[in-house]
Amino acid sequence: MKSMRNAGAKATVVVAALALTLSACGSGGSDDAGDGSSTGTAAKQPLSGFEAKTMGSDYPMPEDGVAYDNPQDRDALQQGGTLTLATSEIGPNWNSFSTDGNTAYMAQFWQLYMPQLWDFDVSGNPTPNPDYLTKVEVTSEDPLVVTYDINEKATWNDGTPIDWTAFEATWKTQSGKNEGYNPPSTSGYDQVASVTQGDSAKQAVVTFETPFYPYQFLFLNLEHPDAVDPTTYTEGWINEPHNEWGAGPFVVDSHDDTQATFVPNDKWWGTKPLLDKIQFKAMDASASINAFQNGEIDVADVTSADRLKVAQGMDDTSIRVNYAMTSAVVTLNAKAESLTDLAVRKALTQSIDRGKLAEIKFQGLNWHEDALGSEIMFPFQDGYENNMPADATYSVENAGKTLEAAGYTKGDDGIYAKDGKPLTIKYTFFGDSPSQTAIANAVQAMGKAAGIAIELDNQDPSKFSDVVLGGKYEMLIMGWSASDPFGYSTSGCQLFCASYPPEGSNFTYIGSDEVDKLMKAPGEIEDTADAIAALNKAEKAALELYGTFPLYNGPMMVAAKSTLANFSVSDQGGTSGFKSLNWHPENIGWMK
């Protein structure tokens, strides 16, 4: 995933199964009844979204397989115009192929100016993007060989043809077989035996040592062959987007810590973009709704009651709702002195009322869901199971028993201690939004009730990457955003295997040989149902290490200018399902 979680963990198409996002973000969820049906009686939700002033409070739940993004033909849209969006971060690392750049926000930028080789429908079914690939086929089953025919027109911005060497370069940096790189996930790439030229330089032949499924997970993006120098890979993208190594409808026109502006790429061989400019402005989530209200940005996340209320008071505004492709999870840093003991991590898990945190997060929204049971699978996906340990259920009494069995005694102040040292854990959160603050206060109160002192550590959102990637936390809530629909096969090792950062995204810093073996099994299974069953078995074992646990998915709700077409993505996700993973920015525009 990406760090929001990019089904695998993960809101945009990037190399990793999951992308890291800002803590306490919302994510996919269930429905009013919790059984796949909607109990609402409101009219069917329009694809363009609800008009904000007439939305009401009884809006229906989204339908599976439907994109709520105001779909319009290009001939109904204007040529020209600017789209202005909010984002939590601009860089600093622009290499989305590396752990340091593996954020949902950077993945959103890459969709504009880097190759996106696969298109997805709302449900996640993949097809080759014809701008880059004219044909993809399995040309051998034993060994597994996949052959990619590359569009003759496909060219890097520096004039280099996009050919088989780009596949080779991507494999080299993502396989984990070469020193000097820090890929977010090596899943699949580590099973490739070779990447060679086919009938011409415009044909790449990928041969596997052992079969990997689904093979469509690999080579979602491509890396320029000139970008594979290890020093360049790890350091050369800091505050440097490298337009010359791009190959998309847009290029980066300007950027700094506060903004990034994209304009049409005059070297683009595909359909000409409708917009003249797409601009991102870095701002705290709490500031973005005011910026939307003031007309400074055109889209804003409104997945909280206070933000939704602001948008519902505005004219010419539509509210677009769908299941989010993200999952909020609690992450415990097992390297922290206070959390090295599994018993402490288990007791802390038992002390958290996940249902209460979901109530706080979704207060004022027409959204209800059961506590999440997986950090990889979404509840609306076939094969989803509750993989939480049976004894991890919220219970203040059981939390106390867990600590007492590990030698902790409760002091007169109600806090457990061992060897004279009170049990104190730091909870880090980012920004000053009401829901973030309320969740932090609730976590603190839950810990106190269980005899665990929780110290609150509020950080500026701009420090998110530094804090998370640097391991400067003990307990925090982060999100994983789906960067592909194949998380059952690709995200397990990224999140749970014992490689840890920088080789992976296991920010708990714990693992086991057993978990590693189990997590690698799904990628060797061709049948999807069997692969998902293997993932569920593996995740059950991983969650018993008590380094992390899932909280909620939830809705994705976006407020947008009513005339904005073919777009629903905010800085926290989109309302087009897996279609949001490659939203073809050349077709975004304003209605005539």
Give the CATH number for residue 63: 3.10.105.10
* Residue 449 placed within a domain: yes
pLDDT at res. 91: 85
Tokens representing 524? 């060797």
Please report the pLDDT score of residue 19 as a whole number: 56
Q: What is the mean pLDDT of residues 523-551?
A: 95
By mean pLDDT, which of 109-113, 167-171, 367-371, 527-531 is the weakest? 367-371
Q: What is the pLDDT of residue 573?
A: 72
Query: Contact, 395 vs 350, CB < 8 A?
Result: yes
> What φ, ψ does residue 375 adopt, rounded to 5°?
-95, -5
Say how far apart CA 78 and CA 93 lie, in whole Å: 34
Average pLDDT for 154-168 = 98
Angle at alpha carbon of residue 282, lines to 557 and 331, rounded to 5°: 65
Indicate the Cα dihedral angle 306, 312, 315, 316, nearest 10°. 100
Those residues with Cβ within 8 angstroms of residue 358's Cβ, 6 or more apart along the chain or in another chain: 369, 371, 551, 552, 554
pLDDT of residue 8: 30
* pLDDT over threshold 60, residue 12: no
Question: What Å distances lie between residue 324 and 31, 79, 561, 569, CA to CA?
Answer: 12, 30, 20, 11
Q: Are the C-beta atoms of 277 and 262 separated by less than 8 Å?
A: yes
The strand pair at 416-418 and 555-561 is best described as unpaired
Contact between 232 and 172 (Cβ < 8 Å):
no
> Does residue 335 register a pLDDT over 60?
yes
Q: Is 354 helix (H, G, I), strand (E, B) or coil?
A: helix
Q: How far apart are the C-alpha atoms of 382 and 287, rounded to whole Å?
A: 38
Does residue 131 sit within a domain? no
Per-residue pLDDT at 344? 98
242 part of a folded domain: no
Class of residue 479 by CB neighbours under 10 A (exposed 0-12, middle 13-18, buried 19+): buried
43 SS3 class: coil
pLDDT band per the 50, 70, 90 thresholds, residue 43? low
- How far apart CA 2 and CA 18 sit, in angstroms, is 4
Q: Is residue 262 part of a domain?
A: no
pLDDT digit string, tens, across residues 215-225: 998 999 999 99
Residue type, 173: T
Q: How many domains does the chain have?
A: 1
pLDDT tens-digit series, residues 455-514: 999 999 888 888 998 999 999 999 888 777 888 988 898 899 987 766 678 999 999 999
289 occurs within a structural domain: yes
Give the pLDDT of residue 18.
53
CA separation for the pair 19, 103 (Å, rounded): 5
Please indicate, yes or no, if residue 351 is contained in any of the structural domains: yes
What pLDDT sits at residue 471? 93
Determine phi and psi for 77, rounding to 5 degrees.
-115, 155
Domain contains 253: no
Q: What is the mean pLDDT of residues 68-82?
A: 96
- State whether residue 269 is helix, strand or coil: coil
Residue 570 placed within a domain: yes
Residue type, 307: R
Pairing of strands 475-482, 424-430: parallel
- What DSSP string runs through 401-451? HHHHHTT-EE-TTS-EEETTEE-EEEEEEES--HHHHHHHHHHHHHHHHTT
Tell me which residue range forms the domain holding 482: 1-113+273-584
Evaluate whether 172 touches 228 at the Cβ level (below 8 Å).
yes
Q: What is the pLDDT of residue 10?
A: 30
Among residues 38, 64, 62, 45, the alpha carbon closest in space to that of 123 is found at 64
Ramachandran angles phi, psi of 577, nearest 5°: 60, -145
**Residues 139-150 pLDDT 10s:** 999 999 999 999
Residue 4 has pLDDT above 60, yes or no: no
Overall average pLDDT of the 53-72 stretch = 88
Average pLDDT, the chain: 89
Confidence at residue 15, expressed as pLDDT on a 0 to 100 scale? 29
The pLDDT of 305-327, averaged and rounded, is: 92
pLDDT above 80 (res 40): no
Single pTM value for the model = 0.76
For the chain, what percent of residues have pLDDT higher than 90? 70
pLDDT value of residue 117: 96
3-state secondary structure of 122: coil
List residues bridging with 478 in a β-sheet: 329
